[in-house]
Amino acid sequence: MIHLKPISILLAFAILVWGCYTKKSENKEGSLIQHKNTFEQVNKRNPKAEKIKTQKKEFKGDGYTITYQVIVEGNEVIKNRVHDALLKSLAPDSKYKNLEDFEKLLKAKKYSVKSDYCNNASRDFSSTIYQVGKVVSINNSEYTFDCGAHGNGYTEVQHFHLETGRPISLNDIFKNQKGLKDEVEKQFCADNKLEKNLDAYISAGYEGFADGFILAKNYFFDDNGISFFYNAYEVGPYTLPPFAVKVKYDKIKPFLHENNLLEM
């Protein structure tokens, strides 16, 4: 028994050490798991938007050129919403079920813009799709001539939520539109070398600003900032060409919602 006592002590010490090591390892592993779960929860609250992919299509025929982009990779909700918006711009009075039906007409060269009334009619249509964060925008621009005094052009932009497909407005992105408008007006004055004053605007031909500066209905985002596009007749006569006012994000970032859809 005297010779076994040291062995028993060593064995008891080894068990004690092993128990402490195992507990420490369990605590470390538990800490790592907890950290991982917390990280995953943060990512779920603030997931980065998946990028859509687009493909360009172009069709030319007698008197027309039609160019647009379609979504080839992205969830079906946003794809259908954007393509429906495109179809309504391409053929606003048509009864086509979807964009593919209209494309069949274009591919078969059965589409025409000319008529007995105007054999010189023409149409140039262009559409682009752009994504910033969770905002997917479709920008439709068109110039048509139907034998009137002059042709007519317009640009229309629509914005949709990447995941839900719902329409997005400025209120969904900016918490302070007054601050945004002030920055856009400052940039407008700088671009046109005008004083910030209504009389100066009117003298320069911008009669639509007679009661105060207004933000254009159509705006679009890119990697650097937001641009407000003013169509012909929107703030002045036809002789005043369409124009855009672009403001960089660093000037308007204070007016954005926190965790905004642009992910800025």
CATH code for the part of the protein at 171-255:
3.90.640.20
**Sheet-wide strand order for 64-73:** 53-61, 64-73, 122-132, 135-145, 152-161
Mean pLDDT score of the chain, rounded to an integer? 85
How far apart are alpha carbons 118 and 146 in whole angstroms?
6
Please give the pLDDT value at position 47.
Answer: 56
Domain ranges of the chain: 53-168, 171-255
The pLDDT tens digits of the residues spanning 58-91 come to 999 999 999 999 999 999 999 999 999 999 999 9
Domain 53-168 shares a fold with domain 171-255: no
Under a CB-based contact definition with an 8 Å cutoff, are residues 255 and 179 in contact? yes
User: pTM of the full predicted structure?
Assistant: 0.79
Under a CB-based contact definition with an 8 Å cutoff, are residues 81 and 167 in contact? no
Instruction: Out of 3.40.710.10, 3.90.850.10, 3.30.300.30, 3.30.565.40, select the CATH number for domain 53-168.
Output: 3.30.565.40
The pLDDT tens digits of the residues spanning 110-154 come to 999 998 889 999 999 999 999 999 999 999 999 999 998 889 999
Under a CB-based contact definition with an 8 Å cutoff, are residues 261 and 172 in contact? yes
Please give the pLDDT value at position 148.
Answer: 85
The pLDDT tens digits of the residues spanning 143-182 come to 999 998 889 999 999 999 999 999 999 999 999 999 999 9
The pLDDT tens digits of the residues spanning 205-218 come to 999 999 999 999 99
Question: Is it the case that residue 106 has pLDDT exceeding 60?
Answer: yes
